[in-house]
Structure 1
Amino acid sequence: MPADAPPILDFSVFYGNDEKAKARLVQEVKDCCLHNGFFQIVGHKVPAELQERTLKCVKELFSLPQEEKNKVHKDKTTWNRGYENLGSQILEAGTRPDMKEGFYIGEEISKDHPYFVQKKLNSGPNQWPTGLQNRENFETTSMEYYNAMHGLAKDVLAVLAQTLDLKEDYFQAFATDAVATLRYLHYPPQPKDSDEKLSRGIGAHTDFGSVTLLMQDEAAGLQVWEKATNEWLDVAPTKGAYVVNLGNMFMRWSNDRYISNLHRVINKSGQERYSVPFFFSGNPDYVISCLPNCRKEGEAAKYPPTTVEEAVGGSYSASYGAAKTFKEQKAMPVTAQPVAV
């Protein structure tokens, strides 16, 4: 496969009856998973109108005064819901805290739900900002989009199953009662002369879970590592498309056959950048052990079985802990810098 940004694939054939077209899609996805774990899809079932409403909500959220955002700070929970400040994470060693602010949303889990009682991965009630002009619209749109992404993630998993010569419904148990996280992100523009070795919108990292589905706005900044040529490739925003990538858990699950690849954001576009990733973790109690057809005859699995909870949970703690340590060492304060356009 040539060194190029992740290809844009027509996912609509998954919903059709053209078996040859479906087979081509499965092969294209398989090629991407073996190469760098990234591809893009159009022709999905998420309405453009819902995408636009969601991005409008994202922009409205981050335009609130800081004191309003702080009222629903994620540190008020222990289950990773709500607002996170600029510079809350370090995802790449040797860099400053990431130049982004975010907001976490998940399934609306009550405090008497077994997932909350048992302190399952990122499970609990959402925190909703109160200072918005139309709070009800924000909540309704956010949950409508969350549910639409749940459906699309399951469709992507159905294709992934077929890339491994498994039945389309192979991941059904994994996807039942699944934990997932919707994350609203805002990247202030970085100065064009900022040091890319230190200042990142988000540092080079791999994702934690099974699959990630990313909606970009019109501002560029996302880059994917190309191992064949040792370079960073820009992933230009395509209206309506989703950037899809595999996470560390899926790579482990496939015995390292499929790739969880490095990516980062450096926002030198001169614009505010907004993006909406959806992280599908899976049922927290599901046991991840080497998938069928992912090791040669007589070859041992590289990893022992583990649960989704164990595989994903530790990575969250590590990334936030790194930023906390950085600040405690009296490093440079993390603030948005004016941009010379």
Structure 2
Amino acid sequence: MAATIPIIDFSDFYSPDPAVKQAVVDQIREQCGINGFFQITGHRVPAALQQNVLHWSKQFFALPDAAKQSCSKDNNTWNRGYEMLRSQILEEGTQPELKEGFYIGADLPTDHPYFLQKKLNSGPNQWPVAGFDTPGQLEGFKTGTMDYYNATVALAGDVLQALALSLSLPPTFFDEFLNGAVATMRLLHYPVQPPDSDDKLTRGIGAHTDFGAITLLLQDDVDGLQVWDKHSSTWIDVEPVPGAYVVNLGNLMQRWTNEKYISNVHRVINRSGRERFSIPIFISGNPDYVVECIPNCKAPGEPSKFPPTTVEAAVSSGYAESYGRAQRFKQGLERAAGATAAVAASA
């Protein structure tokens, strides 16, 4: 039977019946050890919030390029605002990715300690200064995205409680990690992929693992997300389920559990012939929190596979690598174009 990403009814996690709650924990434990991906329904984020944020995402990406560039993430150093097409390469050997995005996080003032200390992805949000027809529309965009962000970050706390229980830990184990946690949301738009593009080179997002602890992804009704299944050596298509979240573990969780739990490779290839919209929220955690092997994730006397690291150090290195790869690719194209022009001029 072909491998699939299971759908778990998370409403049972809130049950007062311990056996019902434990059944959810057991399903999550199984998936974390197989491929680190599962979908949840029955959560506490209202469908109206999900539909509203998808609406505003589509409205934003339909703005003129100049309006989107007015809030370019290049305007700041804390990763907030618009990211243009082909800005990132997550998979070595592929072309810059066929997606554009908009980064949002906790809206911190410039006198907040995180901002003053230049902590990971921490500072005020950046909003478009033009494009929306009325101030009310801009306010709707801000409110719709932030209300959704806050509700989904709260859900991430519940998911981490379930993960703690799945590891035979107290449900409060991740509370310190979540205290002052950095969480980054990306509105993502995948244009229609040209039908003659080479799938080996063209990606919506290249094959990669996530940098943080967990990711909660809301998809629209267009597919394209694929998860690598090492047991069958095939890609699993993650079919969109209305209202569901795709939950996956990131590299921090893999370090924490000494690879007992898996941060798995995934990618997006949009062959649908339609635009695709999705919204991931990446839970990085408190930047100063030190992630080291959970004691019950290794046998007595067994060494940890990873040295301790702070959240900030681990996540920052992932960002630097993927964006640096895209920058080097563009510089290579520019050098090749310059060399071609020089040859033509001398002919």
TM-score w.r.t. the length of structure 2 is 0.94
SS in 1 for 2:296: coil
C-alpha contact 1:215 1:275 (8 A) present in aligned 2: yes
Which amino acid is 1:64 matched to?
L
Deviation per CA, 1:261-316, whole angstroms, max 9, x where unpaired? 01000001011000000000000111111113100121011111111111111110
Q: Which residue of 2 aligns with 1:148?
A: 151
Measure the CA separation in 1 of the matches of 2:205 and 2:308: 31
Larger CA Rg, structure 1 vs 2 = 2
**Which structure 2 residues correspond to residues 5-44 of structure 1 after superposition, within 5 A?**
5-44=4-43
Structure 1 residue corresponding to 2:311, chosen from 285, 308, 320: 308
Q: 1:271 maps to what in 2?
A: 274
Write the distance in 1 (CA, Å) between the matches of 2:2 and 2:74: 41
5 Å-filtered alignment, 1:1-341, equals 3-130=2-129, 131-133=131-133, 134-330=137-333
Shift of 1:88: 0.2
RMSD: 1.2
Q: Deviations over 1:34-54 (max 9, x none)?
A: 001000000000000000000
Gaps of 5+ in 1: 334-341
Greater Cα offset, 92-101 or 299-308: 299-308
Q: 1:203 is paired with a residue of what secondary structure?
A: strand
DSSP 3-state at the match of 1:9: strand
CA distance in 2, matches of 1:160, 1:117: 33
Which residue pairs with 2:342 in the alignment?
none
Identity among equivalent positions (%) equals: 58
Aligned length: 332
Alpha-carbon distance, 1:191 to partner: 2.5
Give the 3-state SS of the residue equivalent to 1:330 in structure 2: helix
Give 1:192 deviation, angstroms.
3.2
Shift of 1:196: 1.0
Which digits, 9 at most, give the CA deviation of each residue in 1:9-52, with x for residues without a partner? 00001111121111111111001000010000000000000000
The range that moved more, 87-96 or 133-142, is 133-142
Deviation at 1:3, TM superposition (A): 4.1
Query: Which structure has the highest helix share of the two?
Result: 2
Q: Is there any run of 5+ residues in structure 2 with no aligned partner, and where? A: 338-347
SS in 2 for 1:105: strand
Q: Which residue identity is paired with 1:118?
A: Q
| SS of the residue 2:326 aligns to | helix
CA shift at 1:5, angstroms?
A: 2.2
4+ residue segments displaced more than 3 Å: none
Q: Which amino acid aligns with 1:27?
A: D
Shift of 1:4: 2.1
Task: Give 1:76's aligned amino acid.
Answer: N
Conserved 8 A contact 1:222-1:234: yes
> Match for residue 344 of structure 2?
none
Instruction: Give the whole-Å Cα distance in 2 for the aligned partners of 1:99 and 1:280.
Output: 24
Matched residue SS, 2:302: coil
Return the TM-score normalized by structure 1: 0.95
